[in-house]
Structure formats: structure tokens, C-alpha cells
Amino acid sequence: MKIAVCASEVVPFAKTGGLADVCGSLPPALEKLGHEIVIITPRYKTSNIQVPAPIVRIGENIRVCFVENHHYFNREGLYGEGGGEYQDNLERFATFCHECFKTLKEIKFAPDIIHCHDWHTGLIPILLKTNYQHDPFFKNARSVLTIHNLAYQGVFPKHKYDRLGVHGRLFHTQGLEFYDQINMLKGGIIFADAVTTVSPQYAKEIQTREWGCGLDGVLRNRSHDIYGILNGLDYDTWNPEDDPFLNFPFDAANVNELKAHNKLVLQVALGLPSDEKTPLFGFVGRLCIQKGLDLILEVIDGLVARGAQVALSGVGDRKYHRMIEEAAARHPHKIGKFLKFDEAVAHKIYAASDFFLMPSTYEPCGLGQMIALRYGSIPIVHKTGGLADTIHLYDPIHQTGNGFVFTEYGRGAFLKAVEEALKVYRHQDQMTDLLAQALRYRFSWEKSAKEYVKVFEKCLS
């Protein structure tokens, strides 16, 4: 099968979150199954490539084509700066979608499947069925849209409709219109041949009123074409045995000793008293309401009062930057923070922390908890979306489970999960057992890639 992957961020070139991880690691997994892939993505100012862009490949032989547009993409941010969105994001990503078609023709890659990701590429399924409907080059092409986070829909004022460059009038409820505005994701959902999302549980949740972000009705109309496929993790990139960011790379045989060494290094770096016995709770993620920052900040004094240290890294809403600064000022010896997007710091926190805080209000899949497991940082999660699919309560008696889970979203339940974690921490044999389980866990891309292929085949049949 010939598959064109179109995405706004792809590791190792540009990343703001899990979308980039997925778009950098699913294509190589598909390639291993024998499919031919090209990736198309914008070249940003910050993209990790030389200028002018040479022919870049990832995986065995996946060609990566960069859409160049100085005006639209040569900026400091991917989607915005200083906490605000760029005002011309519709124009930026509509242009990107049009360029994807042009690029495919230029490189003479007639795809069977165009695999689109999130609202930035929501226009592609529409263009395929309008502007390119009668183009013989795309005669066999079908589109699949993967939703990585339903809350981001690409909503814009209706007066911009003409700038989309779509042939035909689609500003109506069965098209791009959503409460008198343009909604790029909605259009993509309606026009794609299949829709996938990144965990089975989230696939169910988004079809409910509570978690449908206003699009649950649109999604329910397509329920036969919606598939939940769990993300995998790239275990070559996320490998504590061979991680250039770690002072003390480790494996299952020496995890106890070397995680403690990594903890001492991080404590010094964050200005915390060094003590390998102090339980350390880590957080790495976007600082936004979704990631449960409110809950973390509500219980952080309680965590500290229970003798723990906390290490947080992230960027996002100004409000949370400020609240984290305040918490750290209250407890300078207990709370360490690094409020930037920084790969090295992220890896160090995963490796050094004993527990990983992920009390997300909702979570489409979540990679943080998978990475944390791989680095022996035991996840403490809210039972929602992909977190519910991947993390199961540890049972010390039967030695099953891989983390701590709370169901009801609130301070009390979260603190209770934290207390259970601390109880296990104090039982060294239990902690050793749990660590060993965590390190063994694998969320395989091979299995998920095969599920994607099944969806693609269904679209083509």
C-alpha cells in the first residue's frame, strides 16, 4: 500500500506534544509491515533540519517532504507565541493542506491512503472529495483522519471561508459549519473515509456529550467508521539503557541503584536537597487544564507534607507558570521546576522520579505514562481515555498492575492514590517488584500499525 502521512509536527523535526511522537514512529512501523510511505510536514524556523532541506529520510527509507513557506512557517512557534495563537492559522494550515496535494504530484507519489492528523489537516479529506474528485492522479486515494485530541478543532470566523480554497459551498451543517463558524476538524470528520483516534476508550468517550466537545453528534453519525487504536511507544528513542540525556543509563538489572544516582543528579540540578531516599514525584507535560494541573497544584502542599519532593517541567498557560512558581517559592527545598520545553530535562525527570503524576481530566492516549513506565517512574493516573487503557492498579498481593489509578476526579481520590503509592514506596520488596513490572511493559507499534492497516484496507475495499 502507498501511504502519504500529512501532519503538522513530526519527530525528530518539530514537536509540541504526543502528535509529533506518533507521526515520527507510526510510519516506520507501517514501513516494517511492507508499505511504502512518504511524510509531508511544514518546515518551521525551528525544524531540526539543514537549510536548504536535503532529501530527508526516516525509518528504513521513508521520504520526508517539507512544505516551505517563509511567510507562514518561518516563525518562533508552531501554532502561536507567548501563550497566544497565530491569527492566521486557518491560512497557514489551509495552505499546508493544498501543498500536500501539490507535493504528492511533484514527487509522483499516487497514494492509496492519505493519513491525516488532527485539525491542521482536516481540509485534506474535503479537498480529496471536491477539488481533486476528478483528478486521475488521486483516483484510488482514500483519506483517514486520526484525532489526537478532540478539544483542538481549528475554529475560525466564517468570513475567512473563501481563504480555504475549497471548490464548492460547504459552509453548512453537513460540512464545515459549526455554530456559524468554520470548523476544520468537523469537516475532516465528515469527509474522511475513516476516522481513528488514539485509544479504544477515548473512541467511546468522544461519542458522548460529556467528552464530545460539541462534535459528539457528528461523531455518532459516523460511529461505524470510528476506530480506537492505541498509540505505541518508540522503544528505540525512549530507552533508558542507551539514553544520551542520562548521566546514569540503566536497565532492569541495575535500575534500583542507578535510578537513585539519576535522582541525586536531578535534585542538584533543581536545587533540591539531595537524598536518594526521598520519594520524588515527576511531571512532564503541557501546562494546561487537560493535564490536571489544577489538581496537582491543589495537592502539592499535601505531597510535600508527606515528605515527598516534586519535579515539574512544562510550558503552557501563564496561570500555571505562575502557580508553579508560587508553589516552588513556598517550598524551595521540596519543589523543583523547569518551565521550558526541553528534551534533556524531560528524560532526566522520567529517569529520576519514582512516580509520575498524570491526573489528566481527559486523555486521548497519553505517552507520558508509557514513557514513565519505561523509565521506572510509576504512573499515578486518573482513569480516563488512554490512561484507563494502559495503567492498571497495582495489587501487591497478586503482583499485578503497573501503577496507581483513581476514578473520581478530585483532590481526595488523587491524594488517596498518592498515599497508596507512598505505602508501596516504603515496602522495598513491593517497590522492586513494581519497578520490574514497569520496565517489562511494552506498548508495541507493530500491533497498532497492523490495526491501522486493517482500517486502511477497509477504506480501499
Minimum CB distance to ligand ADP smaller for 207 or for 313:
313
Would you tell me the crossing angle of helices 428-440 and 255-269 to the nearest 10 degrees? 90
Least distance from C-beta 205 to ligand ADP, angstroms? 15
CB of 369 to ligand ADP, least distance (A): 7
CB of 309 or CB of 377, closer to ligand ADP: 377
Q: Which is nearer to ligand ADP, 371 or 418 (CB)?
A: 371
* Least Cβ distance, residue 366 to ligand ADP (angstroms): 4
Smallest gap from Cβ 197 to ligand ADP, in A, equals 12
Nearer Cβ to ligand ADP (276/342): 342
Beta pairing class for 404-406 and 378-382: parallel
For 412, residues 6+ apart whose C-beta sits below 8 A from its C-beta are none
Minimum Å gap between C-beta 153 and ligand ADP is 15
Cis peptide before 54 (omega within 30 of 0): no
Element (H, E) at 202: helix 200-205
Q: How many other C-beta atoms are found inside a 10 Å radius of the C-beta of residue 155?
A: 16
Residue placing its CB nearer to ligand ADP in the complex, 19 or 351: 19
- 373, amino acid identity: L
Q: Please tell me the distance from the alpha carbon of residue 150 to that of residue 129, in angstroms, as a whole number.
A: 23
Sheet holding 177-178, edge to edge: 155-157, 181-183, 177-178
**What are 335's three cell numbers?**
519543589
Sites of contact with ligand ADP (CB under 6 A)? 17-19, 21, 284-286, 313-315, 341-343, 346, 365-368, 371
CB-CB neighbours of 379 under 10 Å: 25
Least separation, in Å, of the C-beta of 461 and ligand ADP?
A: 31
Instruction: Compare residues 19 and 195 and give the one whose CB is closer to ligand ADP.
Output: 19
First to last CA, the chain: 12
The span from the CA of 107 to the CA of 104, in Å, is 5
How many whole angstroms from its chain centre is CA 301? 29
- Identify which of residues 46 and 430 has a Cβ nearer to ligand ADP in the complex: 46
Least CB distance to ligand ADP at residue 209 (A)? 22
CB of 361 to ligand ADP, least distance (A): 12
Closer of 111 and 368 to ligand ADP (Cβ) = 368
Complex with ligand ADP: residue 342 or 420, whichever CB lies closer: 342
Nearest position to ligand ADP, beta carbon: 18
- Work out how close the CB of 414 gets to ligand ADP at its nearest, in angstroms, rounded to a whole number: 18
Query: 18 and 367 in contact (C-beta within 8 Å)?
Result: yes
From residue 4, give the alpha-carbon distance in Å to each of 19, 274, 307.
16, 49, 51
β pairing state of 404-406 and 177-178: unpaired
Using an 8 Å Cβ cutoff, are 376 and 435 in contact? yes
Whole-number minimum distance, CB 323 to ligand ADP, in Å?
16
Q: How many CA atoms lie within 13 A of 304 on its CB side?
A: 19
Peptide bond into 52 cis (omega under 30): yes
Residue 126 or residue 387: which is nearer to ligand ADP going by CB? 387
**Cell numbers representing residue 359 in the block:** 491526573
Tally of residues, the chain: 461
Q: 3-class DSSP state for residue 88?
A: coil
